[in-house]
């Protein structure tokens, strides 16, 4: 069985980070180990008054224990990280758990729609960009790419601009940057990947639903990590991730009001299992 470890927070209520990654990657038939970086009562995107318990100091201890057990992973995937110190510790974790035949995915969770999520700033974006240099795959949206590259955020772009951004992201040091939430018109939305070693771009688009749904970045990143872990190539992994994310958004449409804080991804897990057959 393939084995992955995902390192991100548990937002106890709100459907993002670990409460998405664990069910989604498990549904893909992959053993999914977790390192919770923090426990929040809810995510930070729209809720107020949430609790936040930092678990940074547990990470090196978990890592040491796993090392003593000689545990190995086919992939390591990080999402939302809560502090600069946590980024340093995760960076050490990469050094300890990288092998000759596994890979690292960093989803540099920083913000969306041109804005930082609560608690993040330019300094943090710079540290996240450093972490990206250790990754095989990074999965920023346009907001996160702009913050890490220190360029203005724009919604007005063409293929040449996207390809230029991807080349710049590859220069951070990762092998394959994937830009998510790309749309050249109102009809289609998707992701574009760049394979630096082969100087090749991969495009994958599906229907654009004109509504931003919280947690879809985590769904995309979880499915992408899972797809590559089970051996799908870049194009196929992009297609599965884009299509499943869109299925989750479509399934949420009847519930948009009550489900303002997340998606109905649970209703689509059966489709995900079909998509990877």
- Residue selected from 5, 6, 7, 17 as contacting ligand PXL according to rule CB under 6 A: 17
- Main-chain dihedrals φ then ψ at residue 264, nearest 5 degrees: -95, 50
Report the distance separating Cα 126 and Cα 128, nearest Å: 5
- Residue selected from 43, 127, 134, 232 as contacting ligand PXL according to rule CB under 6 A: 43
CA distances from 152 to 24, 120, 144, 145, 212 (A): 33, 17, 11, 10, 21
Residue nearer to ligand PXL on the CB measure, 45 or 181 = 45
Task: Based on the shown chain and the rule CB under 6 A, indicate whether residue 239 belongs to the binding site for ligand PXL.
Answer: no
Contacting range for ligand PXL; rule: CB under 6 A; set: 94-102, 215-223, 230-238, 245-253: 215-223
- Count of residues that interact with ligand PXL, criterion CB under 6 A: 14
3 state DSSP class of 34: strand
Q: Retrieve residue 30's tokens.
A: 């992959």
Report the distance separating Cα 213 and Cα 141, nearest Å: 14
- Main-chain dihedrals φ then ψ at residue 258, nearest 5 degrees: -75, -25
The answer to whether 206 touches 191, Cβ cutoff 8 Å, is no
In the complex, least distance from residue 86 CB atom to ligand PXL, rounded to whole angstroms = 12
Contacting range for ligand PXL; rule: CB under 6 A; set: 37-45, 122-130, 137-145, 197-205: 37-45
Question: In DSSP terms, which residues pair with 8 in a beta bridge?
Answer: 36
In the complex, least distance from residue 185 CB atom to ligand PXL, rounded to whole angstroms = 26
Residue nearer to ligand PXL on the CB measure, 191 or 234 = 191
Residues 86-125 close enough to bind ligand PXL by CB under 6 A: 109, 117
Residues forming contacts to ligand PXL in the complex (CB under 6 A) are 9, 11, 16-17, 40, 43-45, 80, 109, 117, 215, 217-218
């Amino acid at each position: 069985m393939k084995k992955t470890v995902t390192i991100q927070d548990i937002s106890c209520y709100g459907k993002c980070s670990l409460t998405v990654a664990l069910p989604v990657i498990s549904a893909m038939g992959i053993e999914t180990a977790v390192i919770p970086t923090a426990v929040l009562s809810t995510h930070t995107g729209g809720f107020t008054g949430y609790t936040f318990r930092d678990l940074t100091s547990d990470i090196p201890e978990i890592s040491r224990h796993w090392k003593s057990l000689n545990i190995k992973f086919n992939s390591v995937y990080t999402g939302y990280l809560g502090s600069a110190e946590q980024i340093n510790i995760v960076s050490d974790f990469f050094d300890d758990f990288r092998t000759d035949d596994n890979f690292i995915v960093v989803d540099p969770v920083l913000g969306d729609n041109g804005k930082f999520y609560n608690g993040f700033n330019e300094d943090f974006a710079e540290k996240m960009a450093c972490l990206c240099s250790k990754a095989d795959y990074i999965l920023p949206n346009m907001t996160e790419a702009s913050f890490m590259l220190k360029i203005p955020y724009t919604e007005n772009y063409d293929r040449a601009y996207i390809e230029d951004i991807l080349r710049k992201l590859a220069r951070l040091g990762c092998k394959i940057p994937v830009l998510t939430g790309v749309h050249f018109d109102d009809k289609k939305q998707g992701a574009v990947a760049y394979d630096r070693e082969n100087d090749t771009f991969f495009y994958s688009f599906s229907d654009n639903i004109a509504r931003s749904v919280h947690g879809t970045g985590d769904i995309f990143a979880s499915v992408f990590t899972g797809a590559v872990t089970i051996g799908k190539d870049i194009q196929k992994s992009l297609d599965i991730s884009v299509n499943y994310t869109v299925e989750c958004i479509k399934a949420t449409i009847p519930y948009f009001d009550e489900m303002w804080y997340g998606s109905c991804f649970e209703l689509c897990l059966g489709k995900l299992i079909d998509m990877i057959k």
